[in-house]
């Protein structure tokens, strides 16, 4: 299988689930003209996949994208400390959505799975000292929304409603269930 993502979290989730894969990074620009946020994220994942699929028609390819959304505003990976601080200040005390979309395709076998998983995360009220402590860890800078639920960012979170692994970057249970629906058993994972 080819994973069209450089996300360490996605790689970790897939490895822990028993997948063997190689990483090929898509250089597709992450933009979409879709109006609905979930459709926009799915469109970006599809574009990542299609760029790699055309040269690998016999391979299973997986692409995904994750964003944080609050009141219609999308929070991707912060560009710098100042932006990360603004993200965390805005998320403080609020419930936001984490939207992960993925596409799984094999052109030669005519297999296509597309799905979007939406979870909710409620942040604690964060003071500037806590935000700056977290920023000093260096953890927020390569993560949508400026935090990682699987790392030190867990201390910022009051509660979640939804799929922990989707919030982390890839909804593995949802993916395995969708594989099962097209005739793949979990025991066949290594053969994919």
148: left (phi over 0), alpha (psi -120 to 50) or beta: beta
Query: What are the DSSP calls for the chain, one per residue?
Result: -EE----HHHHHHHHHTT---EE-----------SSHHHHHHHHHHHHHHHHHTT-TTS-EEEEEEEEEETTEEE-S-SSHHHHHHHHHHHTT-EEEEEEEEEEEETTTTEEEEEEEEEEEEEPP--HHHHHHHHHTTGGGGSGGG--TTTGGGGGEEEEES-HHHHHT--HHHHHHHHHHTT--GGGGGG-
Query: Measured between alpha carbons, how far is 59 from 105 in angstroms, rounded to an integer?
Result: 8
Alpha carbon 76 to its chain centroid, in Å, reads 10
Catalytic residue among 16, 65, 136, 163: 65
Is 33 assigned a catalytic role? no
Tell me which residues are annotated as active site.
65
């Amino acid at each position: 299988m080819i994973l069209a993502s450089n996300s360490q979290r996605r790689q970790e989730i897939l490895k822990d689930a028993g997948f063997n894969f190689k990483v090929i990074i898509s250089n597709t620009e992450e933009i979409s003209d879709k109006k609905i946020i979930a459709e926009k994220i799915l469109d970006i994942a599809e574009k990542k996949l299609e760029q790699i699929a055309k040269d690998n028609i016999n391979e299973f390819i997986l692409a995904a994208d994750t964003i944080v959304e609050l009141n219609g505003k999308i929070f991707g990976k912060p560009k710098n400390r100042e932006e990360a601080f603004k993200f965390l200040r805005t998320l403080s005390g609020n419930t936001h959505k984490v939207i992960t979309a993925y596409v799984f395709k094999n052109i030669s076998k005519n297999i296509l799975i597309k799905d979007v998983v939406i979870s909710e995360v409620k942040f604690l009220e964060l003071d500037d000292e806590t935000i700056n402590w977290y920023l000093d860890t260096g953890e927020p800078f390569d993560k949508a929304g400026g935090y990682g639920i699987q790392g030190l960012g867990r201390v910022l979170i009051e509660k979640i409603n939804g799929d922990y692994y989707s919030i982390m970057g890839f909804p593995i249970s949802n993916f395995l269930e969708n594989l099962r629906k097209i005739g793949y058993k979990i025991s066949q994972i290594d053969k994919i």
